[in-house]
Structure 1
């Protein structure tokens, strides 16, 4: 893939960090600032302290190299005292909440088909047997942030393996059963976390606000801060939960909500299991 030059290529790290300080916020509530006509900067959101790389930049680099999903191209990652500043291409266009109400039904369905193709590409990016769940890093397991962990505490881990992640949820499942005083011989205690498929790259924050209809006509996916390797059904549950609240989703359109199972796959059983064991996630 041919990569066009960036307007920060010739600048030093100190020079672009100074641009980052002076950048204009693209949205009052967003942490992304525009630093040049074609470049934006975003602070990394890794939960672990003193990490050696920025997981969101790692995910974007992998997506750019291994998929055709339109994502911002990372141009530079600069270490600061407590985090990294990720410089990436600015995507001209509008986020979908601005244009979704103007779309006829056929065009909304076309968006769903496009997103479904993107999800299929993500699921081809499988973690190796030794890769830990969660954020992408060359330096071991990291704390994981996900809507799957519930509203009380949205981050858990780090988990050293898929088995470790599964054991956490099964333990919390047992805690929920105990809290509900479910008999030890009840069959529901044997209904455990679904770890039957390999971990795959997952966005976990798919909503209209994180999709840009580019001036080039393509649908761009942004904000990969929560991306990581998780069971395939995490994408469905995370997207379903993100789109229950209009303030998060950007729309209250019933059609958009109805298309989530089509986009991500209808993982109804796993969603029901999480709901039944959710009380176990209330504990620290």
Structure 2
């Protein structure tokens, strides 16, 4: 549970009640996912609880909310349970993008892709703090990272890194068939969501797109974003990868390098 040092007496009582009723609220809430691996439950009109989660996901969500205008669920509080870390966050009203993407016309698809790329550029423009100047790939706090493409899932005991240099990370991924064949440029480090796929996006009634599922986000080489939007395109969404490659300019290495020249 988050620190209660700065909370009023009333707020501390509310927190205590939330802790005491936690298991009951998970059982009675509207279950989006509920199995032995992951529980995602809508516990009220405005709140969703997800867990177990990694610290990597929590750090990314809090950082992005504080440093960008990217739309994502706001973290309300955390619960440290025997099963692991649970995050209480905003429930985002809207439609999951993968359920409507195939029916959208070309203009609507391009408009959404432009939103996605604007968000991605904001993330990629973020840089690790001076305390992490010698880190190329890490969680937001400089710890190990998780990513399914590397064979380390978003929860569990196994993780990878952190990696001090681009070559260290390249050596770790060398021979990985999911990674080979992609230009490893630009190699500089930025904040990468690492799972930009329609199933991780909610289209709100006002047309604004919100990004969810930040479990793989962290400090990565910028090119990792493209590797992952290709890898994560399952089931394939018509035009998704093609439009992202086109709008980002990542279909050609020379354009890709110039696209990010302002951030280097």
Q: Tell me the equivalent position of 1:38.
A: 46
Matched, 1:225 2:231: no
Gaps of 5+ in 1: 1-7, 47-53, 177-192, 270-284
**CA distance in structure 2 between the aligned counterparts of 1:260 and 1:134, rounded to whole angstroms:** 25
User: How has the CA–CA distance of structure 1 residues 23 and 136 changed in structure 2, closer, same or farther, with 3 Å as cutoff?
Assistant: farther
**CA distance in structure 2 between the aligned counterparts of 1:61 and 1:124, rounded to whole angstroms:** 17
Matched, 1:23 2:24: no
Q: Tell me the equivalent position of 2:250.
A: 266
User: How has the CA–CA distance of structure 1 residues 72 and 91 changed in structure 2, closer, same or farther, with 3 Å as cutoff?
Assistant: same
Of 130, 135, 141, the residue aligned with 2:139 is: 135
**CA distance in structure 1 between the aligned counterparts of 2:116 and 2:31, rounded to whole angstroms:** 27
Structure 1, residues 32-76: CA drift from partner, whole Å, max 9, x if none?
Answer: 110111100001433xxxxxxx22121111111111110000000
Q: Tell me the equivalent position of 1:49.
A: none
Gaps of 5+ in 2: 1-11, 176-182, 254-264
User: How has the CA–CA distance of structure 1 residues 171 and 34 changed in structure 2, closer, same or farther, with 3 Å as cutoff?
Assistant: closer
Alignment of 1:246-265 (within 5 A): 246=235, 249=236, 251=237, 253=238, 255-265=239-249
User: How has the CA–CA distance of structure 1 residues 62 and 161 changed in structure 2, closer, same or farther, with 3 Å as cutoff?
Assistant: same
Q: Tell me the equivalent position of 2:147.
A: 145
TM-score normalized by structure 2? 0.74
Q: How many residues are treated as equivalent by the alignment?
A: 226
**CA distance in structure 1 between the aligned counterparts of 2:145 and 2:39, rounded to whole angstroms:** 21
Q: Tell me the equivalent position of 2:113.
A: 112
**CA distance in structure 2 between the aligned counterparts of 1:9 and 1:256, rounded to whole angstroms:** 47
Give the Å deviation of 1:27: 4.8
User: How has the CA–CA distance of structure 1 residues 135 and 31 changed in structure 2, closer, same or farther, with 3 Å as cutoff?
Assistant: farther
**CA distance in structure 1 between the aligned counterparts of 2:47 and 2:123, rounded to whole angstroms:** 25
**CA distance in structure 2 between the aligned counterparts of 1:104 and 1:88, rounded to whole angstroms:** 32
**CA distance in structure 2 between the aligned counterparts of 1:105 and 1:60, rounded to whole angstroms:** 31
User: How has the CA–CA distance of structure 1 residues 98 and 9 changed in structure 2, closer, same or farther, with 3 Å as cutoff?
Assistant: farther
Structure 1, residues 127-183: CA drift from partner, whole Å, max 9, x if none?
Answer: 13543423223xx52243242x3xxx34675424431x522533664xx5xxxxxxx
User: How has the CA–CA distance of structure 1 residues 195 and 83 changed in structure 2, closer, same or farther, with 3 Å as cutoff?
Assistant: farther
User: How has the CA–CA distance of structure 1 residues 257 and 160 changed in structure 2, closer, same or farther, with 3 Å as cutoff?
Assistant: closer
Matched, 1:59 2:60: yes
Q: Which has the larger radius of gyration?
A: 1
**CA distance in structure 2 between the aligned counterparts of 1:37 and 1:266, rounded to whole angstroms:** 40
Does the 8 Å contact 1:166/1:195 carry over to 2? no
TM-score normalized by structure 1? 0.69
